[in-house]
Amino acid sequence: MKRVKKIVVGFLFLILFITQVYPLLWLFLYSFKTTQEILDGNFFALPAVPQWINYKNAYVSGHYLQYLFNSIVVTAASMALTILLSAMVSFAISRFRWRYGNVVMLVFMIGIMIPIQSTLLPLMIIFKNMTILNTYLSLIIPYVAFAIPLAIFILSSFMKSIPHEIEESAIMDGASVYRVFSNVVMPITIPPIVTVCILTFISTWNEYIMAATFVTAERFKTLPFGVYSFFSQYSTNYGAIGAYLVLGALPVLMIYFTLSQKITAGIVAGAVKG
């Protein structure tokens, strides 16, 4: 009976592995094919001759370095602000005893349910009045706002499990509230912080709807815009699109696989309450 269970579980994991890896493998092969080979519709066929020119076109025509730089700036700033603000709010909600802590938490949790599409028009009007359209701020502000609720949910759940004796000991040694937060609580909260960083990175790096709404200037566009460099009125360079998608996915895959253990540890830690 145990052997049958192992076989079934192994088979299910094999199916999961194939369904997760196959799209990446298909995209990689796609990026080396000619447009004709792609339009033939044989997804499993290897390219007759690897088209390295697709990657050259993706790099040059897709403005890869410029868009990559913009994506790094926007993503890094969004991650830093999300961690700083959500950590402070989570600390106040989970470690202080005050009447409206649960109400504040509820308000932030409501933010998780707000769809991005419903905020585009009011944000467009607000940003236009603030004259920050076509700037990094027009992307960073909404990215941080939408990332904070989930970050608070993860961090506050973990912080509630930290024994109060640790803070009391630090306070007895003369530490202020700010020192307790920065030198005691934050180092302990590293695993869920890494989880928040990765989740914020992935959602910000791949976001297109807000970027297309608030940014039209070429010098502020992010990586998702590069795909449209290969569409023209009469033809489409599908091979270069595949190569560009591979180049755009590489930073995400590298960071995820580097920190995958931290992500798992952070999610598990955030789910445990003392």
Domain segments of the chain as ranges: 63-232
User: In angstroms, what CA-CA distances link 13 with 2, 6, 8, 122, 258?
Assistant: 16, 10, 9, 45, 22
Helix (H, G, I), strand (E, B) or coil at 143: helix
State the pLDDT at residue 259.
Answer: 67
Burial of 140 (0-12, 13-18, 19+ CB in 10 A): buried
What pairs with residue 249 in β-bridges?
none
- pLDDT tens-digit profile, the chain (274 residues): 677 777 888 888 888 877 777 778 888 888 888 878 877 767 677 788 888 888 888 888 888 889 999 999 999 999 999 999 999 998 888 887 777 778 888 888 888 888 888 889 999 999 999 999 999 999 999 999 999 999 999 898 888 888 877 877 888 878 788 888 888 888 888 888 888 888 888 889 888 889 888 998 888 889 888 887 787 766 778 888 888 888 888 887 787 777 666 655 555 554 444 4
The architecture (CATH level 2) of 63-232 comes to Orthogonal Bundle (1.10)
pTM: 0.80
- CA atoms within a 13 Å half-sphere pointing along the CA-CB vector of 112: 10
